Structure formats: structure tokens, C-alpha cells
Amino acid sequence: MSTVKTKDGAEIFYKDWGQGPVVMFSHGWPLNADAWEDQLFTLASHGYRAIAHDRRGHGRSSQTWEGNDMDTYADDMAAVVQALDLRDVTHVGHSTGGGEVTRYIGRHGTSRVKAAVLVSAIPPTMLKTDRNPGGLPISVFDDIRKGVATDRSQYYHDLAEFFYSANRPGSIVTQGIKDAFWLQSMQAGLKGSYDCVKQFSESVFYDDLAKFDVPTLIIHGDDDQIVPIDDAGRMTVNLVGGAVLKVYAGAPHGLMVTHRDRFNADLLEFIES
């Protein structure tokens, strides 16, 4: 397997497909690089070098006991970028991966960054606070931790329904899509997936977003039942100068699957502009 070793000895797995300008993908919780295969295939087929890594604790990367935090996630991504000597990279992050991309820019700057795409992403912050009164209460995330710790297999089966809005009338989400979600989720170690809940729920990205100075596209569905658009995409676009928000009507959290063709077209248009 292709891996990069980080400063604490963790091995970060990555896929590296195609040749050309670099597009790097960061996945959501509790998935792995496989969540981006449709996009990796499409971009590599259109003359791009498409790279996706498994976050530590997830997929084929090391399941470390320590280091399951947003700063380390961002540093791990920087380690991959540096090891492969990637430059002029378009970073695409979904959900927690959007937080990872945002923290990466906050900690490591944009000297190697060409552009950013935040998809159903968690910034600026998910938790309800005085600064973020529209956020979700901590009890929501406590319930997620309970589900993961008690019976994560069943929890991931149930979560897939909301992730893709398969619980909505008229949904055409297939069992195969939900099975793939469960399979990827079960490849995440219990410690890494449990710790990551705190990271996607309580991390605060206002300072990181203030450091964005590259073209930024924000894509969010208005039926996102995991990261509601009003407290995420619609706030982030006002915090990043020149950012563009594309709202997908009726789209769920996992829109890169349910709205694959539209998303891939929008992504290619943005990268080529």
C-alpha cells in the first residue's frame, strides 16, 4: 500500500490516480478515501492527478491511540503533501474533511494551495455556543458517541439513512450505497471514530477561515440532516472573501454520491476556471 509516515510514526494511506494538476480529497466521518472513488476516477480520466488519503484512525491508516484531533489531522495531510511534493493543489473536503482542509490552511498556509472546495463541510463550527446560537446542542453529539460506543455496526446502518436522506419520501438511494457507507464506517477503529466526534462537533474554524486567500467554492445541500446548511455553508461563505456558495436543492449530506453527476460537473468547472 502507498503510505506516508508522519512525525509520530503513524502511517497515512493514500490513493494517487492519474497525472496532471493535483486535486486532493479529504473524506468525511467515519469514512475513508473510498468515499471519493467516483471523483478520483472522473478527475483522473480528465487529465488530473487525483489523490485521497485515509484519515488516521480510519480505513487503512494507522489506528493511533493519541493524535485523533483536528490539528494532527491537518498536519498528517501536510505530511502527505510534503512527502509527495505537491504544489498548486486544489483541496476538496467533505464534512469533517472540510474542517481538515480549513485547519490545514489555517496551520500551513496557502503556499502550496491553488483553490479550496468545501462540501457539506462543518466550518465554522457545529456546536451551539454564545457565538453560534443556531448550532446543535452537545446532547446531539453525546448521542453519537453513545451510538458508536454501544453498537457502532447498527449505528452506522441507521446513520446511512440520514446521511443520504434515504428516509425521505420518494428516495431512490440504493441498498448498495448504504452498504458501502456501512463497510467504510466499520473500517474505522473505535477509538479514532469516537475521538473524531469531538473534533467535528467542537472544533472552531473562524480564525482558519480568515486565512483563506485562494478561490473557494462551497457546495451544500439544503436537506443536509447531518450538517445543516444554515449553520455551515451559508455562514462560511460570508467569512471567506470571494467565496461562492452553490446550494443543491433537496440534496443530503452525502451529495457527492446522490448528486454525483452534477457535483462532478461543478467540480470540474471550478477546477478548470
Q: Is 259 a catalytic residue?
A: no
Question: Among residues 26, 61, 62, 95, which one is catalytic?
Answer: 95
Average pLDDT, the chain: 98
Number of structural domains in the chain: 1
Condensed to tens digits (0 to 9), the pLDDT of residues 52-74 reads 999 999 999 999 999 999 999 99
Q: Note the pLDDT of residue 56.
A: 98
3-state secondary structure of 24: strand
Domain containing residue 253: 3-272
Q: Note the pLDDT of residue 87.
A: 98
pLDDT at position 130 over 90? yes
Measure the N-to-C terminal CA separation of the chain; round to a whole number of Å. Answer: 34
Distance from C-alpha of 130 to C-alpha of 134, rounded to nearest angstrom: 9
Q: How confident is the model at residue 270 (pLDDT cuts 50, 70, 90)?
A: very high
pLDDT at position 1 over 90? no
Q: Domain holding 89: CATH number?
A: 3.40.50.1820
Distance from C-alpha of 195 to C-alpha of 66, rounded to nearest angstrom: 9
pLDDT at position 101 over 90? yes
Q: What is the mean pLDDT of residues 4-19?
A: 98
Q: Is 139 a catalytic residue?
A: no
Q: What is the mean pLDDT of residues 75-101?
A: 98
pLDDT at position 33 over 90? yes
pTM of full prediction above 0.85: yes
Q: Is 58 a catalytic residue?
A: no
Question: Among residues 54, 195, 224, 231, which one is catalytic?
Answer: 224
Strand order in the sheet with 89-94: 3-5, 11-17, 49-53, 22-26, 89-94, 113-119, 216-221, 244-248
Q: Note the pLDDT of residue 100.
A: 98
Tally of residues, the chain:
273
